[in-house]
Structure 1
């Protein structure tokens, strides 16, 4: 269960509440977060530094510690924090060791782990590594992941597929067939050739990235998008829904956090409640076509503390519009075409093949579409994704596209030079 939303919307609170609710249903649950030290401990009523004692699962391929049990959950809920600094140092030292021959050739002086400071982006790799390790441990019925703000979260979740594509382009698998020739080529040209260690490292990375990519595409993975209802949150929520649709991530619910009670005699509270209800009505109408519920969580008037408060805020207990266990994805357009789209055969009617994509909340003016070789590069606002063309469409030309009702239709006509006359496929 992936939880994200705009900065300050209460993502960590909703993630913690969702984890508590899963534990109350008898499920062994791990709450995984990259939140700064102290915040999560205070929310869960745990001692300062409790999550630092065992830590989150570490680098890819290791199980790591499960983290301590959360009070008030009968030992079913554990929490852990990712340590991006430790993960970066561990990975950097290991990479230096694997590339020692090349570094020695260049006269490089290796860096010690103690002098390494994590680089921007290290937190994304640490989070993905921790998710993979926690899943591989096999100890949990539910894994709740407290993600960064939506734009960063979506780019992080898209990272495995993008990096695997880069690896395939930079180190093609067919080049590995010439491994036996590399010593002879090295003598011929007088420079070192790529070693088996390089390809072995690339293979290991590809396997690890494929594991995470598979988790993101799993039918059991869902996303909760958190927002505090207000006029400034509407655009951020729309772009979040658009990005989730582009990357094929199933939106299980929009969680409206910190909703103040209606009917208050206080003028200020009544005015704020009226504004929120107007926004919520618009959100429900926009999400209804996607089959996505909008769940309201009450404003407690204070910061939540402990499992009792968090259970009051659990999205599972809000509203009566289904999806109470967080295991059922949306039934709207996203499910109709799948994360990689679906090809509709209209050769007999129009002489076309139509590639259909579910793109909820995307506007025509922010849509980019480029055919490059055997790939389609699709952009929606700040997000981009590369789709490999299905085999039939590789023999076609893109002749047009339309966006209507949250669905993109890319029209492809058979290329006479590649599609022999008289064939239907």
Structure 2
């Protein structure tokens, strides 16, 4: 059985590493086998919290028998992925007379951290060694960029090497017999099939029911901070990434009260967040000092413990097409859930069979459903967190009986 996957993201300094470690420790304390991944921890704060120096392999944490942890090493991950790719391309190198690189010659390229994270999610997201995998993930913009890669790369592959061209495969044995060597195009299609399978594995992990993202923030101070949070929410929604909850960290508490030791001093900001967000908003009390290993269990009350370990991840909302052709409007309407989106941040461009959507710094190009490809964009509106795009049938492409 595949483990549940929790990605803990948030702005730098918000305390996501601490809450990721606390989530993993609390789950392990409840009897689960948990893997904590320090995927974005340049200063090794997770090492300090756990009292162990982490490496690229899972290490059992002494104070909690069911807890294991590792540190994402992009150089090691890049080299392992490069070796796999070189092994698959060996025949092509032999054909071209090229000497392949040695593993020691492979050095991580810019952007390799995204690929390393995806490869780790693919490996441990399908493993039955753990019940839960908690990832101390990069900030939201970087995390979205990484998690959007499989879809983007698969779209590029489909455009460069479309499936229709594989119909020529029947001719390749004849051409190979005449030339005496395998045709290079065969390697291209084999590489395309292999890459597509790898990308499909990653996308399956991200879409699994047990996968969720938890966004960590410091107590927002005013409308500007709340607006920035909502833009992050919109970016996750744009890519249909399953946000499970918002954790407001280091909330000041009144520790002089005996009956309610965790009363929020600034409950007004939390109330505004809870009213504006479509996912649960939880507060994490401020300890009044830097957290240590012994504090991990104190960062959450029993109710938060249940929420962190047992609540299924919120499913990414579907984008549905509504048929209004039989109404006076005579349009098809594409409903795109976009909670947190603001009209001023929105961009929408139609290019051929694709629709490019933008919300702030987030972009996504999506293939139009088949019926909408034969239509023209007639308008769009953003209301109550849902973008509706209206499509009118193109008379030159739409069947006359329906037009």
TM range (shorter): 0.7 to 0.9
Question: What is the number of equivalent residue pairs in this alignment?
Answer: 388
The corresponding residue for 1:14 is 19
Residue matched to 2:51: 45
Q: Give the whole-Å Cα distance in 2 for the aligned partners of 1:422 and 1:277.
A: 59
Counterpart for residue 351 of structure 2: 372
1:396 paired residue number: 375
- For residue 355 of structure 1, report the CA deviation from its aligned partner: 0.4
Indicate the residue corresponding to 2:284 in structure 1: 297
1:344 CA displacement: 1.2
1:136 to 112, 123, 126: 126
Match for 2:228 among 224, 236, 241? 236
Q: How do residues 276-315 of structure 1 correspond to structure 2 at under 5 angstroms?
A: 277-287=267-277, 290=278, 292-306=279-293, 308-314=294-300
SS in 2 for 1:136: coil
Structure 1 partner of 2:364: 385
Tell me, yes or no, if structure 1 residue 123 matches structure 2 residue 113: yes
| 1:140-289 pair list within 5 angstroms | 140-182=130-172, 193-231=183-221, 233-262=225-254, 277-287=267-277
Q: CA deviation at 1:208?
A: 1.4
Paired residues for 1:15-94 under 5 Å: 15-34=20-39, 35-36=41-42, 38-46=44-52, 48=53, 51-52=54-55, 55-56=56-57, 67-73=58-64, 75-94=65-84
Distance 1:180 1:346 in 2: 45
Q: Deviations over 1:301-354 (max 9, x none)?
A: 333222x411222487449xx845453345xxx86xx24x11112122221111
Tell me, in whole angstroms, the C-alpha distance in 2 between the residues paired with 1:25 and 1:154: 31
Q: Please give the alpha-carbon distance, in whole angstroms, between the structure 1 residues aligned to 2:129 and 2:381.
A: 46
Q: Which residue of 1 aligns with 2:320?
A: 342
SS in 1 for 2:60: coil
TM-score normalised to structure 1 length: 0.82
**Partner Cα separation in structure 2 for residue 257 and residue 26 of structure 1:** 25
Alpha-carbon distance in structure 1 between the residues aligned to 2:144 and 2:25: 25
- Shift in CA distance, 401/130, structure 1 to aligned 2, threshold 3 Å: same
CA 1:2/1:112 → structure 2, altered by over 3 Å: closer, same or farther? same
Alpha-carbon distance in structure 2 between the residues aligned to 1:286 and 1:195? 53
Task: Tell me how far apart the structure 1 counterparts of residues 80 and 401 of structure 2 sit (CA, whole Å).
Answer: 59
Query: Helix, strand or coil: the match of 1:79?
Result: strand
- TM-score normalised according to structure 2 size: 0.86
Q: 1:12-32 deviations in whole A, cap 9, x for unaligned? A: 111111112222332222112
Comparing 103-112 and 384-393, the one that deviates more: 103-112
Cα distance in 1 between the residues matched to 2:140 and 2:301 = 18
Q: Counterpart in 1 of 2:261? A: none
Residue 31 of structure 2 aligns to a residue whose secondary structure is: coil
2: distance between equivalents of 1:36 and 1:182? 50
Give the drift of 1:97: 4.6
C-alpha contact (below 8 Å) 1:220/1:327 kept by paired residues: no
Instruction: Say which SS state the counterpart of residue 137 (structure 1) adopts.
Output: coil
The CA deviation string for residues 208-258 of structure 1, in whole angstroms up to 9 with x for no partner, is 111111221222211110011133743432221011111112221111111
Please say if residues 36 and 70 of structure 2, whose CA atoms lie closer than 8 Å, have aligned partners that are also in contact. Answer: yes
Partner of 1:415: 394
Superposed CA deviations along residues 362-418 of structure 1, whole A, max 9, x for unmatched, are 111221112222222211111111222222222222111111111100001122232
* Other-structure match for 2:260: none
- SS at the partner of 1:353? strand
Q: Does residue 5 of structure 1 match 2:37?
A: no
Looking at structure 2, the residues matched to 101 and 31 of structure 1 have their Cα atoms a distance apart, in angstroms, of 39
Does the 8 A contact of 1:12 with 1:146 survive in 2? yes
Q: Structure 2: which 5+ runs fail to align?
A: 1-5, 258-263
What does the per-residue CA deviation read over 1:131-172, in whole Å, with 9 as the maximum and x for residues that have no partner?
A: 111122212221212111111001111111111111111111
| In 1: Cα distance, 2:280 partner to 2:173 partner | 61
Contact kept, 8 Å, 2:374 with 2:397, in 1: the verdict is yes
Q: What are the ranges of 5 or more consecutive residues in structure 1 without an aligned counterpart?
A: 57-66, 266-272
- Please give the alpha-carbon distance, in whole angstroms, between the structure 2 residues aligned to 1:92 and 1:316: 45
* Inter-partner Cα distance in structure 2 for 1:105 and 1:210: 29
